[in-house]
Amino acid sequence: MEELKKRILKDGHALSETVLKVDSFLNHQVDPELMYEMGTYFKNYFKNHGVTKIFTIESSGIAPTVMTAMQMNLPMVTLKKQGSKILKGDVYQTTVHSFTKSMDYELTLSKKYITEKDNILIIDDFLANGEAALGAARLVEEAGAKVAGIGIVIEKSFQPGRNILDDKGYDVYSLARVGKLGENLIEFLE
């Protein structure tokens, strides 16, 4: 997605070989027009995948996922990372490791928002090591549903996540594939 690549180059900040900061348009401040365009790209790619619901992990994936769900006229479900007093009992949970934050967290899905008949599109903001996407897919499959595909806003292609998801047979579609990061260096794969 050329508009996203331009925005990453203009407003993104490569802080190291692995950290890309895009908080001015994706996750702290959100550009709704760019999110809508992302939704259009995801909709066009996944429109023939038989998707019944769209899942994302709180919080940075919410904006592009809302726009995709709106355009596909489908329900959106947010997988929770934070503990909650009201999400007890009838839930699916899996442990996910965040390399960015160097910690584990429990990813949680209420059983009332998924059935065995569902074909789920998972959308996330970043793909690096694949842990978040794999955790979301584990929850979907534990419920007996299917993963229709995985949409990624920004993929760090130099990290192993894409290969891990490909090896598991998931259809992964990324809007921007970063091939190399370094201090003040951002290069994309074609």
Which residue numbers belong to the known binding site for xanthine?
20, 27, 156
d(CA 66, CA 84) in angstroms, rounded, equals 22
d(CA 174, CA 72) in angstroms, rounded, equals 18
* Residues flagged as binding site: 20, 27, 128-132, 156
* Residues flagged as binding site for 5-phospho-alpha-D-ribose 1-diphosphate: 128-132
Tokens of 39: 């939704």
Alpha-carbon 133 to chain mean position: 7
C-alpha triplet 124, 129, 135: angle, nearest 5°: 55
Tokens of 67: 């726009």
Distances (CA, A) of 90 to 16, 81, 131, 142, 177: 41, 16, 23, 13, 37
